[in-house]
A and B are shown apart, each in its own frame.
Chain A
Amino acid sequence: MTPLTLDDAAALLVQLEPTDQEDIAKLREALADLALDVQVPLAAQPLVARAARLLGELADHRTDDREATLAAANVALDDAVTAVEAAERRAAARRDGGEARASSAAATTTAPIVVPEMPSPVAPAASSSTPAPAATVVDGSVDTVPDDSDLDLLRDFIIESVECVANSEAALLTLEASPDDAEAVNTVFRAFHTVKGTSAFLGLHRMAGFAHEAESLLSRVRDREIAYTSGCAELSLRSVDMLKAMLADIDRALAGDRRLVVPVGYSALIAALASYDPSHDASLAASPHSVATTSTAAESGDDTARRAAPAAATAGATTGTTGDSTVRVRTDRLDRLIDLIGELVIAESMIAGDPLVSGSAGGVHHDLARKVTHAGKITRELQELAMSMRMVPLRTMFSKLTRLVRDVAIKAGKQVEFVTDGEDTEIDRNMVDILGDPLVHMVRNAIDHGLEAPDQREAAGKARQGQVRLSAYHAGGNVVVELRDDGNGLDRDRIIRKAIEKGLIESDKGMSDSEIFALIFAPGFSTADTVTDLSGRGVGMDVVRRNIESIRGRIDIASAPGKGTTFTIRLPLTLAVTDGMLVRVGTERFIVPTVNIHMSFRPEPSMLSTVVGRGEVVMLRGEVMPMVRLHRLFGVADAVEHPTDGLLMIVGDGEQRRTVLLVDELLGQQQVVAKSLGEWLGTVRGISGGAILGDGRVGLILDVGDVVALGQSGASVPLPAGIALAA
C-alpha cells in the first residue's frame, strides 16, 4: 500500500521522464483515483482528471509529442495543487483564523490516499505495463449500497437523477443538431454534475466516479477544448445510458439485496471517457455499440437530427429554462383527493336540490340559494383542477422516442427525419406508461418496415431521407396521437396472403382496406420477410392494440401504396372519467361505456327470431346479431321480458362480433369515475368496476366484452340470485 497525496503525486510527476512508461501508467492510476476522491476539493478534481487523461495518452502511446503532453500534465497538476491551496485558504479564512482546528484543512487535503499496489484485483503483476483502465473495477463485479445510507435520501436521489438524466438526454440530442448550443451543453454538464455531487455525498462512489468522467468530457466541450463531434455524441449518449443502468441497478438493489452490480461496459466506457480524443473518432465508430458499416448512415442520421432540430431544440431549451416549481405528491393521495372532490360534488348537488334551497318547499330562501350557488361554482372549479392534476404533457415521451429514432435509424441503415409536434398535449399520467410501449414498437416498425432504404427511395423518386412524423392534438373530446411515415405503405396483397395462410380469413371478399389493414393486429401476424433484432418477430402489433384498448383507446390504420402509412390512436382525455350510458334493467342500473355502444333502437317483432342452437338473434338491415338479455345474465327481477317493450343496444368491442343487449330503458349519458370493486370481491364476470352516480349510489360498469362472451356461453343466473340461495 502506497499512501499518496496530491502533493506527492505532483512531486512524482515532475521527476518522470516521458519514457518512463511503467511509472506513468502507475501514476495515472493514482491520479484517476485522486480525481474521484471526495477529499480533493471540487475545484481541483477536473484538473487532476485532466492530468490523468494526459498521462493516459502517454501510457497508451496516443500522443506524438510526449514531452509536451507530459509538460501539460505537469501544468494541470500544479494548477490542481494551487486550487487546493486556494480552497484551503478560503476555508481557513472562514474559520476566522484563530480556531484550534485550523490545521484540519491541511489534514484534509494531505490525508493519505491509499493507492493499491496492484491496480486491479484481477489483473495482477503484468498490469502496470499494460494501459490499465482508469477505474479499477470489473464489469459484473459487485459491491453494496453503503450500510449507513438513508433510504429515503437514496430514493429521492434516484427520482431526481432519473429526471436529470432524461433532461440531459434531450439536451444531448439538441446538441447533436446544433453543436454550438451552449445552453444545451450546460444542461448536460449540470445534470452530470448534480448526479456526481449527490452520489458522492451518498457514498455511491462508483457512480460519482462515472458521472465525474462524463462531466469532464462535457466540460471540455463547454470550454471549447474539443468540438461536439459525432464520436463525442456517441460517448455522451452511452454515458447517459450507463447512468440510467446504474440508477436502475441502485433502485433494484434498494428493493432487494443491496448489492450493486457494475454494468457491462462500465470500465471500457470510463476509460473511453477519460482518454477521449476527437481525432480517434473512427475507433469509436467501430466499437461494438454502433455498427461499423453504418457510419454513413450515422452521419446522415446526424444531419437528420439537425434538420429536425427546431422541435427538439425548443423542447430542450424550454425544459432547461422554464422554472416551473413542482411538488411531488403520492398518486394514491392524489386519487383520494379526486375521489373526495367527486363526493363533494355529489354532496353539493344534494344540497342544491334540497327543497329548502330550491324553493319547492314553499318559502324561498334567496340568501341561502345564493350562497349554495356560490359554493357550487367553487366545487366545480375544484373538480376541474383536480382532474387536471393527473395530466402530464407528452413531451417526455416524445423526447424519449427522438432518441429511439436516432438509434434505430443507425441500426437499420435508414435516413430518417423525425418530426414531432404537439408535445404540449396533455394526457392522464397513468396512460403515459401504457402508451409508451406501443409507441416505441410502432416507431421502430415505421423505421424498420415502413421506410425504405435510401437507395430504394431514390429509385422510387423520393428523397433519400424518409420522414416519420409524430403528432398529438385534441379532437372531439379525445387525445389523438398520430404516427405517419412516408414509406412504402402497407402491402395489401401480402397481408391478405398471410392472413389466408394463417387461417385468419378465408378470402378478402367484401373486406374494406381498413379491415384488411386491421389484420396486422392479429396475434402472431408479421409481414416482415426477415426477422431482424429490431422488429418482425410477429409479436407486437397485437400487444400494441391490447395496450391501447386497455386504456380505452382505439387505433386505426390508413395506408397508401408508395405514399406511406398513418397510425391514428384515439385516447380518452383521462382514464379517471368514463363516458357511459346509464341504463335501467328492472330495478337495477348499469353503466355501459359509450365507446362500446354502436346504436340503440326499439325492435319490431319481425326483427326477432330464435335460431336453434344459437339462441335469440336480432336482424337489423341484413345483419344478424345474437341477443343477450341482461336481466337473465345478471338475475335481475321485474325486468322487461319482451324486447319490443324494451330497448336493444348494439355493442361490440372491436374484436368481437356485434351483439345486442336487451335493457329496459336508457336513463341518460353520464361521465363517471370508474373505481375498482376492491380486491376482496375479486373479478366479477361481466362487471369492470363501479362508479358513484349522481344520487350517491354505486352503479356497476359493464365489461361489454365479457358480457358478450358470457351471453354466448349461455350462462345465466337463477332468479332472484342472492335471496334464493340464502333461503
Chain B
Amino acid sequence: MSTATATRGGKFLTFFLAGEEYGLEILKVSEIIGMQPITRVPRTPSHIRGVINLRGKVIPIMELRARFGMPRDGAEDTCIIVVQVGAVQTGVVVDKVSEVVSIGDAEIEDAPTFGDGIHTEYLLGIGKTNGRVKLLLDIDRVLSGDEVAAAAAAASTA
C-alpha cells in the first residue's frame, strides 16, 4: 500500500467534489483562486483541462473528476486549488472549498482496498473528524508524472 507508516496527521484543506469531502495536506496548497477561463490545450489527456495565467505564470489545470474517472455531469467548478509539488505548480478544479481542519494521526485510517468511486491508490487514508469522513488525497500520486506523461504520450500518438 502507498499509505506508509509515517505520521499522516496534520492540517488539511478540505473541499467537495461530486458530493464527497476530500482533504489535501495544507503544506502542499499554495493558494485558492476563483474559477477563471481556462485555455484548452489540444492533444492532452482528458483530465487536463488546460492552462491558466497565474499572475504571469502559465500553469496547467487538472480535472479531478476525469482523473478519478467520474462523470463531469453536475460539476459546479467554483474554484481552483493551486498546489505546489516540488517546483511545479498545478491547479486542481474542485466544486467547493470547505475548511482547514487538523486531523490527528489516530483519526486517520488506511483506505479500504475495495470500493468504487475513487481509486484507493490516490489516498493517504481516511480521516474521521466530527463524525464525518474525509478522503485524504495523496496529491503527489494524483499528479504523478509517470501516468500523466504516459497518457500524454498515448494521446499524441493516437
Q: Which residues of A contact B (CB under 8 A)?
A: 336, 339-340, 342-343, 588, 633-636, 675-682, 684-687, 689-690, 692, 696-700, 715, 717, 721-723, 725-727
Contact = CB atoms under 8 A, between A and B. Distances in A.
B132 interface: no
Given A680-B60, A726-B47, A340 B42 contact: no
- Secondary structure of the B contact surface, majority rule: mixed
Contacts of A727: 71-72
B58 A690 contact: yes
17 contacts: A588-B40, A636-B42, A675-B58, A676-B58, A677-B51, A678-B59, A678-B90, A681-B44, A681-B60, A690-B51, A690-B58, A697-B37, A700-B42, A700-B51, A721-B46, A722-B66, A723-B72
Contacts, number: 112
Interface string B87-114: 0111000000000000000000000000
Nearest to A721: B42
Nearest to B90: A680
Interface of B: 37, 39-53, 55-60, 63, 65-66, 71-72, 88-90, 143, 145, 148-149, 152, 156, 158
A686 B152 CA distance: 13
A721 B158 CA distance: 12
Given A681-B152, A723-B72, A727-B71, A633 B42 contact: yes
Contacts of B58: 675-678, 689-690, 692, 698
B41 A687 contact: yes
Contacts of A343: 53, 55-56
Give the most central of B46, B71, B90: most A CB within 10 Å: B46
A633 B53 CA distance: 24
A277 to B, nearest CB: 58
A682 B152 contact: yes
Nearest to B148: A680
Contacts of A676: 58
B88 A685 contact: no
A721 B154 CA distance: 13
A717 B88 contact: no
Contacts of A699: 39
A699 B53 CA distance: 10
Given A342-B56, A687-B42, A721-B46, 19 more contacts: A343-B53, A635-B42, A675-B57, A678-B60, A679-B88, A680-B60, A680-B88, A681-B60, A681-B152, A682-B152, A684-B42, A686-B42, A692-B53, A697-B53, A698-B50, A700-B42, A715-B158, A717-B158, A722-B46
Nearest to A342: B56
Nearest to B62: A680
Given A684-B152, A700-B39, A692 B56 contact: yes
Nearest to B66: A726
Contact of A726 (B40, B42, B53, B72): B72
B39 A698 contact: yes
B44 to A, nearest CB: 6
A634 B40 CA distance: 10
B146 to A, nearest CB: 11
Nearest to B72: A726
Nearest to B89: A678
A261 to B, nearest CB: 33
B46 A725 contact: yes
B60 A717 contact: no
Given A698-B58, A699-B39, A723-B72, A681 B53 contact: no
B15 to A, nearest CB: 20
B94 to A, nearest CB: 16
Give the most central of A343, A680, A690: most B CB within 10 Å: A680
Nearest to A674: B58
A54 to B, nearest CB: 60
B143 to A, nearest CB: 7
A686 B42 CA distance: 9
A726 B62 CA distance: 13
A275 to B, nearest CB: 54
B47 A339 contact: no
A692 B55 CA distance: 10
Nearest to B41: A684
B82 to A, nearest CB: 12
A685 B43 contact: yes
A675 B89 CA distance: 14
Given A675-B58, A681-B60, A690-B58, A698 B52 contact: yes
Give the top 7 A-B pairs by smallest Cβ distance, nearest first. A634-B42, A339-B56, A725-B46, A343-B56, A698-B39, A690-B58, A726-B66
A267 B42 CA distance: 61
A697 B72 contact: no
Contacts of B48: 681, 722
Give the most central of B43, B50, B52, B71: most A CB within 10 Å: B43
A726 B151 CA distance: 13
A685 B156 contact: yes
Given A675-B58, A680-B148, A726 B71 contact: yes
Contacts of A715: 158
A679 B66 CA distance: 21
Contacts of A679: 88
Contacts of B56: 336, 339-340, 342-343, 692
A696 B53 contact: yes
A336 B156 CA distance: 31
A722 B143 CA distance: 18
Contacts of A697: 37, 39, 52-53
B9 to A, nearest CB: 28
A115 B47 CA distance: 72
A588 B37 CA distance: 12
Nearest to A341: B56
Contacts of A689: 58
B91 to A, nearest CB: 11
A710 to B, nearest CB: 9
Contact of A339 (B40, B44, B57, B145): B57
Given A697-B37, A726-B63, A717 B148 contact: no
A117 B148 CA distance: 66
B88 A684 contact: no
B43 A340 contact: no
Contact of B44 (A684, A696, A723): A684
Contacts of B47: 726
A675 B51 CA distance: 12
Contacts of B37: 697
Contacts of B152: 681-682, 684
Contacts of A634: 42-43
Contacts of B145: 680
Given A678-B88, A680-B143, A700 B57 contact: no
Give the most central of B42, B53, B57, B65: most A CB within 10 Å: B42
Contacts of B90: 678, 680
Contacts of B43: 634-635, 684-687, 717, 721
